[in-house]
Chains A and B, each alone.
Chain A
Amino acid sequence: MKQPVVKKQRTLAAETWRRFKKNKLALTGMIVILTLVVIALSTMVIDFVTDKAIYNDYVIKQNLRMRLQGPSREHIFGLDEFGRDIFMRMIWAVRYSLFMGTIAIALSTILGGLLGAVAGYYGKISDNIIMRFMDVLLAIPSMLLATAIVAALGTSLTNVLIAIAISYVPTYARTVRASVLTIKDQEFIEAARAMGASDVRIIFKYILPNSMAPLIVQATLGVAGAILSIAGLSFLGLGIQPPTPEWGSMLSSARAYIREGWHITVIPGLGIMITILSLNVMGDGLRDALDPRLKN
């Protein structure tokens, strides 16, 4: 037999990236998100190196004489209701808004995805048990559920994460279950079974990759929602506690001063908006790039 010539196989990541970078909007979104990630990481490094000196002096130190001062050359985003530099607070807040939102959604995507896949694939009793439980969770408004969980577990960063992750699980479980149901009866699943693939292999290599697209979009949208939920919890005093900066809590505490200084509401609002918009366009681009059927 002729020895076949093997052309180098492009990995999935390389292939995805090749297609992703053609979408300029999605690329812009990703650059924004990456910039925010770099900012978040560098503030963490600065805190570590300076032992929070900069944080204490510039981010949380109040200066009531200068309160609500508009944007100027020294303070490009102006000062807030306690005379703190909004630019510095915005930068230091990135880590909470972005990382917590991402981690919470990552947790609920994994948990929800697995539950949905098991429910959809095995059907019958397991489907009923899992999905009815999800329905119970869905019946409670997610904000209320998160509030209840934090109230029960106590106020802390981890508990806020857990609360938000749990309140988003049903959405992902339903999304994945729906796409598993449409995929599991297709002929290639049966063909996989006929070639001796086990259930686990079928779920992870055949069904989940085929149901990735809706999940990715849902997850990027979810991060945006989670950022808002964290903000909401912070507003209720259950999330991130002042004076720690967080976009959502900055926004809600600024509401009272909207007549005196427009900038203190607009800037955190813009921050949230730009982050969420970037996440959405990036998610869209990622979905298209990950789907080999939409190739070229």
Chain B
Amino acid sequence: MQNPDDILSIEDLTIHYETDEGSVHALNEVSLAMKRGETLGLVGETGAGKTTLARGILRLVPSPPGVIKQGSVFFEGQDLLSLSESKMRSIRGSRISMIFQDPMTSLNPVMTVGEQIQEVVEAHNRDLRQDEIIRQANAMLEMVGIPAERSHEYPHQFSGGMKQRVIIAIALACNPVLLIADEPTTALDVTIQAQVLDMITALKKRLNTAMLLITHDLGVVAQNCDRVAIMYAGQIIELGNLDDIFKRPTHPYTRGLLGSIPSLTKDVKRLSPIKGLMPDPTDLPPGCKFAPRCRFVTEACERAMPEPTHLSETHQVRCILAEAEVRNG
């Protein structure tokens, strides 16, 4: 199954949270592959398992209660799930980095921003001299558009957008192969959002870093991503490139998502939201997870989860309708 071009390939990853109220099926047999330098948008509503997937890759799922039930995460040819903790540590921050959602709380309040960038450089380059570390950290700061003179200031002296830039500088300091950005702009206002995203995109192009961009904003996806994965109830239900998803959405959920965005060009009286709520992750329906909310639901949907169907080389979907369509040509 493994493609040599892929830097990351996740196979059948299943993560449950075992709580007293029962086991929460956060991630169910997710398979996903990423190529060097590409940007993959991961879209889904709250609780769809996007963050769990990101943490699963870095093996940062809080345990307990998180349990990785099965699956594998191959990164540059090695299975991350079977690595030792210290090997894993050397990958985190240097080969795979992560940007967290809230810049206000993801920086250490009692350490200067300069020191925090130096920290990650130092942690992964033990034999580097101190002045070299400082020089590299300051260069990173300049790269994200913050003057190096401000490196001795503390996080509380920066605005939200600036803090997010510092976090980006920390994430990119060791020139990672893969950057996981977990809703990097959700906590920022719209103008800063655009600036930060433009900057991330420009930097990742320059460093040829692949990026997994987690978001629930389809506009952000359309602007920044090469491919899109739509998640629902811990599964990837549709995966394709931008055209596949935006021009030829196939899964009823994807269509529903796109139908609930207000359009500037079309004159629509009323948006069509998706009715109902996500199923309780402790008690998922046996068949298609979307069946209870689907307009086209059939009996077969409720019996078994449809397997991924390849509509084209790039486009795959988990829906019985698509299966039928392909079969009938």
Contacts and interface: CB of A to CB of B under 8 A. Distances in A.
A and B associate? yes
Interface of A: 1-2, 4-7, 9-10, 186-188, 190-198, 201, 205-206, 209-210, 212, 291-293, 295
A293 B154 contact: yes
A65 B107 CA distance: 70
A293 B58 CA distance: 31
A196 B86 CA distance: 9
Interface string B151-190: 1101011000000000100110000000000000000000
Contacts of B91: 196
B44 interface: no
B156 A194 contact: no
B114 A191 contact: no
Interface in B80-110: 86, 89-94, 97-98, 100-102, 105-110
A231 B40 CA distance: 69
Given A4-B141, A6-B149, A7-B148, 4 more contacts: A2-B142, A5-B147, A190-B100, A206-B111
B100 A292 contact: no
A181 to B, nearest CB: 15
A187 B90 contact: no
Interface in B126-159: 134-135, 138-139, 141-143, 147-149, 151-152, 154, 156-157
Contacts, number: 109
Nearest to A7: B149
A10 B142 CA distance: 19
Nearest to A191: B106
B100 A1 contact: no
Question: Which of A4, A5, A192 counts the most B-chain CB atoms under 10 A from its CB?
Answer: A4
A114 B245 CA distance: 54
Contacts of B167: 191
* 6 nearest A-B pairs in the assembled complex, by CB-CB distance: A195-B93, A196-B93, A4-B148, A196-B92, A187-B105, A194-B98
Contacts of B157: 295
Nearest to A211: B110
Contacts of A201: 123
A197 B124 CA distance: 9
A161 to B, nearest CB: 31
Contact of A196 (B94, B100, B135): B94
B119 interface: yes
Contacts of A196: 89-94, 120, 123-124
A7 B152 contact: yes
Given A187-B105, A206-B108, A195 B142 contact: no
> Chain B contact residues: over half helix, strand or loop, or mixed?
helix
Contacts of A186: 105
Contacts of B28: none
A231 B236 CA distance: 71
Looking at chain B, what size class is its interface with the partner chain?
Answer: 35 or more
Interface of B: 58, 60, 86, 89-94, 97-98, 100-102, 105-112, 114, 119-120, 123-124, 134-135, 138-139, 141-143, 147-149, 151-152, 154, 156-157, 167, 170-171
A206 B155 CA distance: 14
Nearest to B102: A187
12 contacts: A1-B142, A4-B138, A4-B147, A188-B106, A191-B106, A191-B107, A194-B58, A194-B60, A195-B97, A195-B171, A201-B123, A209-B111
Given A196-B91, A196-B123, A292-B154, A210 B109 contact: yes
Nearest to A209: B110
Given A9-B112, A187-B102, A209-B110, A195 B149 contact: no
Contacts of A187: 100-102, 105-106
Contacts of B93: 194-197
Contacts of A293: 109-110, 154, 156
Question: Which of A190, A196, A206 counts the most B-chain CB atoms under 10 A from its CB?
Answer: A196
Contact of B89 (A7, A190, A198, A209): A198
A1 B154 CA distance: 25
